[in-house]
Amino acid sequence: MPAVALPQRRLANAIRALAMDAVQKANSGHPGAPMGMADIAEVLWRGVFKHNPKNPNWINRDRFVLSNGHGSMLQYALLHLTGYDLSIDDLKQFRQLHSRTPGHPEYGYTAGVETTTGPLGQGIANAVGFAIAEKTLAAQFNREGFEVIDHYTYTFLGDGCLMEGISHEVCSLAGTLKLGKLVAFYDDNGISIDGEVEGWFTDNTAQRFAAYGWQVIGPIDGHDSDAIRTAIIEAHSDTTRPSMIICKTVIGCGSPNKQGKEECHGAPLGAAEIAAAREAMAWDYDPFEIPADVYEAWDCSVKGDVLEKNWQGQFDAYQKAHPELAQELLRRLKGELPASFALQAKNYIEEVALKGETIASRKASQNALNAFGPLLPELLGGSADLAGSNLTLWKGCHGIQENAAGNYVFYGVREFGMSAIMNGIALHGGFIPYGATFLIFMEYARNAVRMSALMKQRVIYVFTHDSIGLGEDGPTHQPIEQLASLRGTPNMSVWRPADAVESAVAWLSSLQKNDGPSALIFSRQNLPHIERDALQLDNISKGGYVLAEEQGVLEAIIIATGSEIDLALKAQKILTEQGKGVRVVSMPSVDAFMAQDDAYRQKVLPNEVRARVAVEASHADYWYKFVGLDGKVIGMTSFGESAPIKDLYQHFGITVDAVVEAVNSLS
């Protein structure tokens, strides 16, 4: 009898056994979800899921996202059983330091893990991003007879994901965008950490998703293989709507005394209960032991190799029929910028410097997009319903809701959803996503922004209306502490440019950065052009540079960013007339500056000059790392107020006179 004819329940029990064994050995983890969803996973991964375990990066593979990421042992068991590079010894190291099986799935740690999940709701948001990327990339590159981009995105999610507000944001948009190759499996087990969810979660999920424009299937028995298979076939039959398969399951299924109870959600079952579960499942094997026939039935290596070879044959024919398209697709999937882009961008920056416009940096950002956009078809932009304020629409933008081959997503008022979706788009490959909102509303998106940095994804955040310069909208809209938060985020690059020239450099640096996200911080108000020589122009990309040299002996340094550069230059003029040797340093990107060698940093900010003043219309405390405890910071120590911009700067003491006074008090 061929191995594939083994009872499916026995094959699913291999997942259950590995999950309970790994959690028990680690004395930490969540056995309930893996055991409850094992039957669903078996049907999907052995019979439907298009993948090649020997090449986890195959272009046209289906994507799988475990949104309920605490159930990570489900994914690790699947990867191990189907033939990925994840050994039984790796499973034994579950939740241990530097293991390939961390407590939640982490992108970059484990072959076959497509995204980092754990913060509930962001996995389904990433999945929406994968589905958008697939649909848009297919529309841009597929041609008659050549469906070279053609895959599904599958996601598992639980009650917790659906309780999080982000699930509403992204699933509503997924329905509107008609993402027909997105299939979600809802693990409807009625249990969360605090117990039975009926005390705090009574939503009619079926009606909710039907209202979003999804195809809703079920509820089905999540332990009935035939019902699961039939539901997947039904999901595939509708290519105009994403599908939600509601699966009624028993959490911890297979544990005779703890299944269906919260006590199996997030704690080891215990040796006695595991022994009882083994008996109940007729699983007569030692911990971490999988019999050969089960391994054989699970292994997808051969099937996956055939799938990829068949696709490769099609792609080879595509290359012959459409060589330029094929070359462009491969370039974009590798994440490489066009060979000519750097030089073209440098030429544009020089043009901006010569033009010398006094404009808001948000407008300068739009100008940069108009210059760079035609050169970079991989740009996939968007805004959280603020395109007219963020100025993220450039002349060549086309919304994907009207044309799937477009390059712009109208995200609606969904800052968090937008940011998490962009993570999925970046992870899929083929695009460089950028998305915009006011800087203050980064707070709505904060956890997704953090996930961009954690996963080191090239996601570009455009944050406009950057300070109390927002004016009359008042303290609810005026960012104070947000810049410090972004600058304190590992792997995040933050730029707050002072004029149109620095804005263009900020865009170029962000596009060239392929190991993490960037936050571009732009003003609402006009910023005057600053004259620079060739060396200063080149040094902008270093994040900090001497913008205005001192006259005579260097006595003091003023450090400024963005709109406050103008204050610093005016203060320097007064101080110079007073006979003081004062230097102005523009520091549009602290992280870029700190990445320079010590010699360069010393040249800009020599250690021996301790008389330092920093000025920025943001939280003052951040800048003490540069001015020291004996220096002074002109900035914000409170929330803002509603008033015209000039009145606000005067009221909060962010003025030329304040900078002059601060320098004089130190030197």
Dist CA 28 CA 272 (whole Å): 16
Q: Where are the alpha helices (DSSP H) in 291-360?
A: 292-298, 301-321, 323-334, 341-355
Dist CA 106 CA 278 (whole Å): 30
Dist CA 432 CA 426 (whole Å): 6
| Closest to 417 (Cα-Cα) out of 390, 391, 382 | 382
Q: Label residue 149 exposed, middle or buried (CB < 10 Å: 0-12, 13-18, 19+).
A: buried
Type of residue numbered 99? S
Dist CA 315 CA 321 (whole Å): 10
CB–CB of 458/507 below 8 Å? no
Residue 340 β-bridge partners: none
Q: Label residue 357 exposed, middle or buried (CB < 10 Å: 0-12, 13-18, 19+).
A: middle
Dist CA 656 CA 650 (whole Å): 10
488: number of CA atoms within 13 Å, CB side? 11
CA angle in degrees (0–180, nearest 5) for 541-333-436: 55
Ramachandran assignment for 24, one of left (phi > 0), alpha (psi -120 to 50 degrees), beta (any other): alpha
Dist CA 277 CA 258 (whole Å): 10
CA angle in degrees (0–180, nearest 5) for 495-557-563: 35
| Closest to 64 (Cα-Cα) out of 29, 110, 101, 25 | 110
Q: Is 164 a catalytic residue?
A: no
CA 599 vs CA 210, 547, 604: distances in Å: 61, 18, 9
Q: For residue 613, what is the enclosing H or E element?
A: strand 612-619
State residue 64 phi and psi, 5-degree precision.
Answer: -125, 130
Ramachandran assignment for 100, one of left (phi > 0), alpha (psi -120 to 50 degrees), beta (any other): alpha
The 3-class secondary structure across 209-268, one letter per residue, is HHHHCCEEEEEEECCCHHHHHHHHHHHHHCCCCCEEEEEECCCCCCCCCCCCCHHHCCCC
Dist CA 173 CA 127 (whole Å): 12
CB–CB of 30/268 below 8 Å? no
Q: For residue 84, what is the enclosing H or E element?
A: none
Q: What is the CA radius of gyration of the chain?
A: 28
- Candidates 106, 262, 273, 415; catalytic one: 415
DSSP class of 287 = T
Dist CA 383 CA 415 (whole Å): 8
Dist CA 173 CA 330 (whole Å): 29
User: Catalytic residue positions?
Assistant: 415
